[in-house]
Amino acid sequence: MASGFFAILDDVAALMDDVASTAKVATRKTAGILGDDLAVNAEKATGFLSSRELPVLWAIAKGSFINKLIIVPLALLLNTFFPIAIKAALIIGALFLAYEGVEKIVEFLFHRPKTGHEVIEKSDDEDSSESEKKKIKSAVTTDFILSLEIVIIALGSVLDQNLTMQIITVSIVSILATVGVYGLVALIVRMDDAGYHLIKRSGNKGVVSMLGTLLVKSLPLVIKTLGVVGTIALILVSGGIFVHNIAYLHHVLPQLPETIREFLAGVVAGLIAVAIATVGKKVFSLMKRN
């Protein structure tokens, strides 16, 4: 009886060692996407009143967990029975990411707003609530596509393992990705509150007060930087999906560095998607009038 119990413990320990090893490899391979995910979601989670930042971020994080609950079993099933569907889903998702990234650039260049960084105002509770819901929905939709990419890459790193190992590894990477990314986003969006707390606690004197002031003054710069980085990340992630999953693009401009090729692929796809969407909106508007 005792020997059987210890044999089970040995099996569990061996399994945990294998899981730790495969999860480490999978996490390393998804590190680039996780960086992009952080930049994109931090940019998506900003622009709210201070009192709404954490509730909004929690709503997006819950949406991210639900996304992964859908994606992980779906990816495992598709990989087993219909692997071509995974590639098709990645390419469709990449078109959406490219559209979002290029649309932001077009908006900045040709439809620049007169006011500064957009913040949802208090004045009209109904309008602010609707705007908040739209931004959360947009963030969760973008997260779905980035999560799909993370899950597919993590799954690809353990295809030589048995199904149990695949399930455990992909699940661990998914949980770490969500907790890690949104934990860091929460720290970023609350930088100013932490700074004000330090200033108040130090009586506006000394090194602690200087650190608090630095945090408060740095937040607007961090937000603007994340907006730029997030836009570039959307284009790079989408371009990377195109280049790695469309055979024809493997041989286009081979003399250029891979990052440049991915960026160009994302921009071109985004311009096409924006043009189609713009024409579609105009046609739909004309049809409504008639």
* pLDDT range class, residue 135, cuts 50, 70, 90: confident
More confident residue, 37 or 96: 96
Domain ranges (residues) in the chain? 2-189+226-289
**Interatomic CA distance for residues 152 and 169, integer angstroms:** 12
Spell out the residues 6+ positions from residue 108 whose beta carbon is closer than 8 angstroms to its own: none
Mean pLDDT for the stretch of residues 150-170: 78
**What are the pLDDT digits (tens) for 63-85?**
988 998 998 898 888 888 887 88
**What are the pLDDT digits (tens) for 198-221?**
888 888 778 888 888 888 888 778
Mean pLDDT for the stretch of residues 248-263: 86
Give me the pLDDT at residue 178, please.
85
**Interatomic CA distance for residues 90 and 148, integer angstroms:** 7
* pLDDT range class, residue 46, cuts 50, 70, 90: low
Length of the chain: 290
Spell out the residues 6+ positions from residue 190 whose beta carbon is closer than 8 angstroms to its own: 53, 54
CA distances from 152 to 63, 76, 92, 130, 139 (A): 19, 9, 14, 33, 20
Does residue 271 surpass a pLDDT of 90? yes
Q: Which of 161-165, 214-218, 271-275 has the highest mean pLDDT?
A: 271-275
Give me the pLDDT at residue 225, please.
80
Give me the pLDDT at residue 30, please.
58
Q: Is 253 helix (H, G, I), strand (E, B) or coil?
A: coil
Does residue 6 surpass a pLDDT of 60? no
Give me the pLDDT at residue 127, please.
60
- What is the separation, in whole angstroms, between the first and last Cα of the chain? 81
Does residue 17 surpass a pLDDT of 60? no
Tell me what percent of the residues of the chain surpass a pLDDT of 70: 75
Does residue 273 surpass a pLDDT of 80? yes
